[in-house]
Amino acid sequence: MSGNLRVLIIGGVACGPKAAARLKRLMPEAEITMLEKGAMVSYGACGLPYYVEGTFSNINALTHTPAGVSRTPEFFRTWKGFQTLTGTEAIAINRHDKQVRVRDLKNGGEEDLPYDKLVLATGGSPFKPPIPGLDLANVWFMTHPDDAASLVAEIERQELKKAVLVGAGFIGLEVAEALINRGLEVTMVEMADHIMPGILDEDIARFAQIHMEDNDVELVLGETVTALEGEGRVQRVVTGKRKIEADFVIVGVGTRPNDVLAREAGLRCEKGIVVNEFCQTSDPDIYAGGDCVSNAYIHRQVGDPLYVPLGSTANKHGRVIANHIAGKPTPFSGITCSSVVRVFDYTLGRTGLSERMAQLLGIDYEVTTWSGQDIPHYMTGSRLFAIKMIASRRDRKVLGVQVAGMGNGAKRLDVAASVIYFGGTLDELADIDFGYAPPFGPPIDPLAVCAHVLTNKLDGLAAGIPPLEAKRLMDTGDCLLLDVRIPDEAKMEWIPHTDMLHIPLSELRERVAELPQDRDILTYCKVSMRGYEAQRILNAAGIDRVRFIEGGVAAWPFETAMPGI
């Protein structure tokens, strides 16, 4: 390609700056111009909730490099070597003449900018549900630094106290923690029956919901917001069942691709801009990446496109685009839906398929839930967490992993993401050479232990029952709940049921005769290990209708009973 190649980039948040910086390194002589209609460029939008919480006091820190230098147009000119025009909106693309009509938002002036290659990094916009009242004062959509800055300012100026969050996704959960830590009252309304419905399965979500409620977040689940009410400013949130008083509302119910510019230019769009594996649009001289595209998020396991807008993926798209323009084609290889979020003291996340997705795809799968400590129990800072793992019955490939709890689930999620990305099996996961030392993990890593449990289920050794299924069976009253913990443990906290029996595992072999052979027996302990051993003991004694509650008390996603409660 010619050394004076003209590259025009529309959008200056994630994909755009990445594409520009990478391309300038590959093609130093290229003339690169990046347009951004806002005043800020290259900011970390995912940090907005933490500004609201007060983790840092300068909103401009979201634009800083690790060295503390602000990413301004001057920074990109002197450090990166390309031009950045802020306050400049692209209003039309002339594909025939290879020009983009732009408008200066300060003075209204318009001009045409030429290009040889055009990159659309126009991002996404918050979805605004069709409900009345969204235009009232004190209603926020948390997508831009200006949103976070104005929210904090108005909380302080108006002395706002009661927040209602519409939507229980990433933004909702992170902002809920931020507001609680600021001393506000928080109610979260979600139309699905559990939090993070697009990410987590019900059992893991329920486990996390208990923690949120323990931290004073009021959850209103399974209810749809029908209106926001108030005189000039919002005062109430209305659902089909109630009215909730509110000083302010934050709406976070998803993102929609900004594809209007592409559509008007005649580019192929289907709920977002359609691109190939190199992020080329239907016009080979025009590229698109980040939240504005619809089909670049190909799920590696099923081959179908999913819309999972994340800054991490947008940056990958930027690199793919730059490489292709520079003649170094490296196709984008897809995603495994890896997502993680901190909610108070819990880490929540998923990679790969959820159980619900596996069901919808008609996959023959097996699933288990494990719970335990992230590092050895004798180490200070050892914390409990739960892992849910899904694998294919046909070839034993790991399909999905979810984590929840105080322990270091993010580390395990990243390892699982790698295994899933490369199509690994349960046996291969269990055999990974994890780094071991007591400050970092136990001799057999929790992820490997979970893989062992699931392997035992596939091999017919472990008869585990998922917590939700166990609860349904218990609600019918047609089962015996067998607690095999030591007496002191059993007195501290237990799973409530109308028909319970306590026999410590150490006494079980001698007391087998006390158990019925014609009823379902559900065994459990703190985590699940002794429950599994009890199942094997009873099976060996000729009692077949035995299953252990996976995850035990530690991962029970419903209320437990305690003395005096």
Residue 253 in contact with residue 175, Cβ under 8 Å? no
Listing DSSP states for 202-221 in one string gives HHHHHHHHHHHHHTTEEEEE
Q: In residues, how long is the chain?
A: 565
Q: How far apart are CA 347 and CA 414, in angstroms?
A: 13
Going by C-alpha positions, the residue among 10, 252, 292, 260 that lies closest to residue 143 is 252
243 beta partners: 238
Radius of gyration in angstroms for the set of CA atoms belonging to the chain, rounded to a whole number: 27
| 292 among known catalytic residues | no
CA distances from 424 to 297, 304, 359, 400, 453 (A): 21, 20, 20, 11, 17
The alpha carbon of 42 is separated from its chain's Cα centroid by a whole number of angstroms, namely 22
**Which is nearest to 118 in space by CA: 234, 259, 19, 256?**
19
> Distance (Å, rounded) from C-alpha 422 to C-alpha 438?
28
Residues 172 and 250 sit within 8 Å (Cβ to Cβ): yes
d(C-alpha 560, C-alpha 33), whole Å: 59
What are the residues facing 9 on neighbouring strands? Answer: 34, 119
- Dist CA 332 CA 322 (whole Å): 12
- Strand spans (E) along 443-552: 464-465, 479-483, 500-502, 520-524, 546-549
Determine the Cα angle at 487 with ends 210 and 456, to 5°: 65
Catalytic residue among 15, 46, 292, 337: 46
**Most distant pair of Cα atoms in the chain: their distance:** 89
Q: Alpha-carbon distance 198 to 353, whole Å?
A: 11
CA 278 to CA 282: how far, in whole Å?
12
Q: Which helix (H) or strand (E) holds 99?
A: strand 99-104
How buried is residue 498: exposed, middle or buried, by Cβ count under 10 Å (0-12/13-18/19+)? exposed
- Per the CB < 8 A criterion, the answer to whether 331 and 320 are in contact is yes
Q: What are the residue numbers of the active site? A: 46
